[in-house]
Amino acid sequence: VGLCEIARAEIMRVVAYYATKPGIKDMPVAYSSADAIQIVDDKISTDELAAQMLNNPQWQVRAKFAHLLHSRKERGVAEALLKTAENDTHLEVVKAALESFSELTGYKTQDILDYESAKQWWQSQSGSKQ
């Protein structure tokens, strides 16, 4: 068994762990707006969700907000989810972003952490971009 096979097996172990691990969907996250107003999940604007998903220092907030974007069929949401999946360093956030991207766009995959395939699929969907 070579080093490449060992690395592939380890990658598959990590993917399997995140695929079967309960996500952050039901986890409450306390969030206050810039004016210190407590906001309930469904009352947060799409722009605020996307901005915080991309920039909040707490991975739990980024993951929760990525999840909350799964039904926001507005221009730029799919791209923001892909950007998060590409750049975030926490796998829980990547998973939430790609799950929401799949729910939002209809993209299907076996690998819940495969950003590259999602990006290629999205680029091929000329008529279905938001």
What is the rounded distance in angstroms from the CA atom of residue 70 to the CA atom of residue 17? 22
Please report the pLDDT score of residue 113 as a whole number.
86
Q: Compute the mean pLDDT over every residue in the chain, rounded to the nearest whole number.
A: 82
Give the CA angle between residues 101, 106, 108 to the nearest 5°. Answer: 85
pLDDT, tens digit, 9 for 90 and up, residues 24-59: 666 666 566 665 545 555 678 899 899 999 999 989
User: Strand pairing partners for 11?
Assistant: none
- For residues 95 and 125, the answer to whether their CB atoms sit within 8 Å is no
Residue 15 above 90 pLDDT?
Answer: no
Closest CA to 25 of 66, 71, 58, 72: 66
- 40 in helix, strand or coil? coil
Residue 130 above 50 pLDDT?
Answer: no
pLDDT, tens digit, 9 for 90 and up, residues 74-120: 999 999 999 999 999 999 999 999 999 999 999 998 788 899 999 99
What is the rounded distance in angstroms from the CA atom of residue 35 to the CA atom of residue 104? 30
Sign of dihedral through CA atoms 115, 116, 117, 118?
positive
pTM as predicted: 0.73
Amino acid (1-letter code) at residue 35: D
User: Strand pairing partners for 38?
Assistant: 32
